[in-house]
Amino acid sequence: MSERHPIIAITGSSGAGTSTVTRTFQNIFRREGVTAAIVEGDSFHRFDRKAMKQRMAEEEATGNRHFSHFGEEGNLFAELEQLFRQYAETGTGRTRKYLHNAEEAAPYRQEPGTFTEWEEVPAGTDMLFYEGLHGGVVTEKVNIARFADLLIGVVPSINLEWIQKLIRDKTQRGYSQEAVVDTILRRMPDYVNYIVPQFAHTHVNFQRVPVVDTSNPFIARDIPSADESMVVIRFAKPKGIDFPYLLSMINGSWMSRANTVVVPGGKMEIAMQLIFTPFIWRMIERRQRALGAV
């Protein structure tokens, strides 16, 4: 953790909804005049799209049907840890971009599914903001979670997560249902071993729980809406959280445990605004004091 160069990390699996959380933070940054270095977790995959397909085929030929982007072998954990460490110490570090589609790739004159060259984090940023799969990973070799000043987990109920992934990949990426289900099954061991354990290290977790029937996610025709959901917000260390204020500001909310607030799904963004804006204020105040003391 760092007072002069704080780090916020959003972690959650593919289809969990981390991009929605990112948009909320971008709105806070814009409103509060905060300059953040934005880092996408996909940038720290080990292989580009073509190389990943080839590696998966090679692994499957040896009998390994579970090689995935979720696991250690498919990612640059050491490089991500080094970025967090270096940024926390100096406000610098190396990162790159993963170009998901033709629109993102066009300015770089590259193929979609490739990486840009490594480059330095822009100078003069107030904090680093990471969004991806592995912001809270802890293994025998790395401990990425320890560098995050604010680590947030986005964890929909598992069936909802699958519904979101199935519908997104079929409608936006043109995948067949069979291909998406195969991906879910292939990733499951790495999901259990690398994704789930992160949520023991997060400071705050947001779990969206549908209140409609999702018992068979593979036949769902649409994603349950925000109004058809509740959001469970768990604080690892509730000290300093003004629960009465949150409950008074969010209609329909209640506390299910001493460290847990439940809010209507449609109120998730306002809850994040209310919870995290003071966090960012405190980070910026500590940063200014620390820089002033140098």
Contact assessment for residue 30 and residue 37, using Cβ atoms and an 8 Å cutoff: no
Q: Which residues of 206-226 are buried (b: 16+ CB within 10 A; e: fewer)?
A: bbbbbeeebeebeebeebbeb
Instruction: Report, as an integer, the average pLDDT of 98-114.
Output: 95
Q: Both tokens of residue 136?
A: 């809270």
Question: Nearest 5°: phi and psi at 85?
Answer: -65, -50
The CA distance from 149 to 9, in Å, is: 8
- Model confidence at 16, pLDDT cuts 50, 70, 90, reads low
The pLDDT value given to residue 156: 84
Percentage, residues of the chain above pLDDT 70: 98
Average of per-residue pLDDT values in the chain: 93
Q: Is 80 exceeded by the pLDDT of residue 78?
A: yes
Q: Is 80 exceeded by the pLDDT of residue 153?
A: yes
Q: Is 90 exceeded by the pLDDT of residue 84?
A: yes
- Model confidence at 20, pLDDT cuts 50, 70, 90, reads confident
Q: Both tokens of residue 169?
A: 């990949």
Contact assessment for residue 156 and residue 207, using Cβ atoms and an 8 Å cutoff: yes
- Model confidence at 17, pLDDT cuts 50, 70, 90, reads low
DSSP, residue by residue, 207-266? EEEESS--S-GGG--SPPPGGGEEEEEEESS-TT--HHHHHHHSTT-EEEETTEEEEEGG
The pLDDT value given to residue 73: 96
